[in-house]
Amino acid sequence: MSAPTPKITVSNLTMAFGSYLVMQELSFTVNRGDIFIIMGGSGCGKSTLLRHLVGLQRPTAGTVLYEGSRTGFWEMAPEEREPVMRRFGMLFQSGALWSSLTLAENIALPLREYTRLSAADIRDLASLKLALVGLSGFEEYYPSEISGGMKKRAGLARAMALDPDILFFDEPSAGLDPISSRLLDDLILELRDSLGATIVVVTHELASLFAIGSNSVFLDPVSKRMIASGCPKQLLAESEDPRVLGFLTRGEDGLTTP
Amino acid sequence: MAETDSTVPKRCDLEVEKLPDGGVRLTLSGAWTLSETLPSAEQVLVELAREPTPTYITFDAGELDRWESGLLTLLLKIRGECSSRGVPIRPEGLPDGVRRLLTLATAIPERKGARRDGTRPPFLVRVADATISTWNAVQEMLDFIGEAFLSGIRLFRGKARFRRSDFLLIVQECGAGSFGIVSLISLLVGLILAFVGAIQLQMFGAQLYVANLVGIGMVREMGAVMAGIIVTGRTGASFAAQLGTMQVNEEIDALQTLGIAPMDFLVLPRMLALCLMMPLLCLYADLMGVLGGFIVGVFMLDIPPAQYYLQTCGAVRLNDLFIGVFMSSVFGILIALTGCHRGIHCGRSASAVGVATTSAVVTGIVSIIVATAVITILCYIIGI
């Protein structure tokens, strides 16, 4: 296999809300084809980091560099940023489907905005994306009429609407039963392999992050820094940091300091 | 051409070729991205329909550069057609990723009965549906009014539960918060009434009676109506939006599971607050309206201030004031009822909150005007 191409390079990223520091000096690289896990305890800023990566929040310091651009994402002019953002797909924690549109319309909206496809083609594509997440036949349903797990899958279908290079997932398996969550993991792997997409996932579901993760960062809310990075399985085997081990073993190996 | 520049992807293309053994080969080439106009499945479908029916379909994707979902939709279309004609597909020639996604797309069969047909029901059915839903809405409204009444009774028996701080906050928000806009609008309405009246009354040299016109008009009707309409737009809309969002977030369900009646906890303090604040706002609007008339009378018609004041005092009876204040408390109840009713019966989506807010304001204003007409006619009949 050839040397990995860096897809996202984050260097010295500091995140803060006003004077409240969330995380500082984060530096890591997400390679093409990675399933990159952002992990850490609740409230340590995982979702905030994701928001910085997708361009919803401006970093206090540091840069986020995407493959193919010369300057960091936030150093670009807004009109340069837009084509970069168009290559992203984001699955929000609770789906964030537009409630006044049907599922098919939710998927069709980005297609209608950014492609010149005919209405019939867009309809076919929307049906395809829904079929890929196992929701065929639900085209005409409104988000309020389907269950939470279905909303999540529909959200994934919308995230995939424009065939993105990079998919961002915010807690994909939260609120799903173990089997659905396992199926979603399989789907993520399948999408990575067949579409060649790069995937960034925020999660603290241990089963899921061991199953799919090929690289990761571990955020520590106390020191407000990243304290580990690498493949989650390897971290479990090799890390000597009690905080990381405690997290990865649910504090059951007795290594965690109370 | 391909040899001259290998970095520029070729345009996507689809070639259909009949093989000697009765099969059909589809040759895919170029970059199949969503930004391109993709070839249509039409030529393949034509080939499939042609006699004799092909014995199988095979693919050659050797020249395929890049592909996105557009290719998948085309293949799915072809596959659908093939399976209905019983033509087997040999997918070996397709890229690995395409084959896997095709399997995934058909892995989970469509749930039976999930799909909806978009056909419109016949006219009579639609009329019947509309009638039933209107009747249901009326019943729902009556139900709500009944519950609000029961909740009021609970309040007087000291059994209703709500937070006093909520109540005070609502009082502040709908009372003191409306001061600015009520001042401005009532002052201007008073000015307008005086202006219009002055032009007519000047013809008889009866400018002084502008004081009567503005005084009675504002105190008896306009003060209450203007305050009512302002409060509908401000407070009624905010009640509907707030309760509607609470409904969307399941906050109202959370109250119910705790055994707290949303009627007591959410609707009652709002009704009470508006019922108390509306008469005060109405009195204030009356004052500002009369002040508007005073400004026109004194500065434009040169009526001495003291005379204008005495004329107004002579014209406005206590009865007029009571009628205005009574109307305004009726409006308060109406505004709170419509706002809360629309909010609590809101659907579970962002657009439903918008609909609830709109209909709260529309129903509120309509009910205010209707109530004004009814009360005015009743007063005329009673003779006050």
Of the pLDDT bands very low, low, confident and very high (cuts 50, 70, 90), residue B187 is very high
Predicted confidence (pLDDT) at residue A1 exceeds the cutoff of 50: no
The confidence score (pLDDT) of residue B1 equals 35
Are residues B158 and B289 located together in one domain of the fold?
yes
Are residues B76 and B160 located together in one domain of the fold?
no
Domain boundary among B84, B107, B130: B107
With respect to residue B308, please indicate whether it lies within any of the assigned structural domains: yes
Are residues B89 and B154 located together in one domain of the fold?
no
Of chain A, the end-to-end C-alpha distance in Å amounts to 44
Mean pLDDT of B264-271: 92
Are residues B193 and B310 located together in one domain of the fold?
yes
- CB-based burial of residue B260 (10 Å sphere; 0-12 exposed, 13-18 middle, 19+ buried)? middle
The confidence score (pLDDT) of residue A78 equals 81
Instruction: For residue B78, list chain A residues with Cβ-Cβ distance below 8 A.
Output: none
With respect to residue B136, please indicate whether it lies within any of the assigned structural domains: no
The confidence score (pLDDT) of residue B309 equals 94
With respect to residue B135, please indicate whether it lies within any of the assigned structural domains: no
Predicted confidence (pLDDT) at residue A19 exceeds the cutoff of 60: yes
A105–chain B Cβ distance below 8 A for any pair: no
How many angstroms separate the CA atoms of B295 and A148, rounded? 62
Give how many domains chain B has, as a whole number: 2
Its ipTM equals 0.73
Domain boundary among B48, B76, B107: B107
Are residues B202 and B100 located together in one domain of the fold?
no
A189–chain B Cβ distance below 8 A for any pair: no
Predicted confidence (pLDDT) at residue A254 exceeds the cutoff of 60: no
With respect to residue B119, please indicate whether it lies within any of the assigned structural domains: no
Task: Work out the angle at residue A164's Cα, subtended by the Cα atoms of residues A50 and A143, and round it to the nearest 5 degrees.
Answer: 75
Of the pLDDT bands very low, low, confident and very high (cuts 50, 70, 90), residue B73 is confident
Are residues B282 and B349 located together in one domain of the fold?
yes
The confidence score (pLDDT) of residue B363 equals 94
Contact A90, A102 (CB under 8 A): no
How many CA atoms are closer than 13 Å to the CA of A126, on its beta-carbon side?
24
Q: A39 vs chain B: nearest CA distance in angstroms?
A: 28
Say which residue the tokens 């070639």 belong to: B15
The confidence score (pLDDT) of residue B9 equals 59
CATH of the domain at B62: 3.30.750.24
pLDDT one-digit tens code per residue, B193-239? 999 999 999 899 888 999 999 999 999 999 999 999 999 999 999 99
Say which residue the tokens 């939710």 belong to: A106
With respect to residue B134, please indicate whether it lies within any of the assigned structural domains: no
Are residues B221 and B312 located together in one domain of the fold?
yes
Report the residue from B96, B116, B347 with minimal CB separation from A144.
B347
Contact A103, A135 (CB under 8 A): yes
Residue A193 dihedral angles phi and psi, to the nearest 5°: -70, -40
Contact B322, B256 (CB under 8 A): no
Q: Write down how long chain B is.
A: 384
Structural element, H or E, at residue A65 = strand A61-66
Are residues B83 and B226 located together in one domain of the fold?
no
Kind of pairing between the strands at B13-18 and B24-32? antiparallel
With respect to residue B67, please indicate whether it lies within any of the assigned structural domains: yes
Are residues B168 and B82 located together in one domain of the fold?
no
Domain boundary among B51, B83, B107: B107
Predicted confidence (pLDDT) at residue A15 exceeds the cutoff of 50: yes
Are residues B172 and B245 located together in one domain of the fold?
yes
Provide the residue range defining the domain that includes B241.
Answer: 148-382
Task: Report the share of chain B in percent with pLDDT over 90.
Answer: 56
The β-bridge partners of B24 are: B18, B57
Instruction: For residue A99, list chain B residues with Cβ-Cβ distance below 8 A.
Output: 348-352
pLDDT one-digit tens code per residue, A93-145? 888 888 888 999 999 998 888 888 888 888 888 988 898 888 888 888 888 88
How many angstroms separate the CA atoms of A217 and A45, rounded? 12
With respect to residue B129, please indicate whether it lies within any of the assigned structural domains: no
* DSSP state at residue B60: E
Contact B226, B185 (CB under 8 A): yes
Are residues B201 and B81 located together in one domain of the fold?
no
Structural element, H or E, at residue A187 = helix A178-195
Of the pLDDT bands very low, low, confident and very high (cuts 50, 70, 90), residue B24 is confident
Are residues B329 and B248 located together in one domain of the fold?
yes
With respect to residue B173, please indicate whether it lies within any of the assigned structural domains: yes
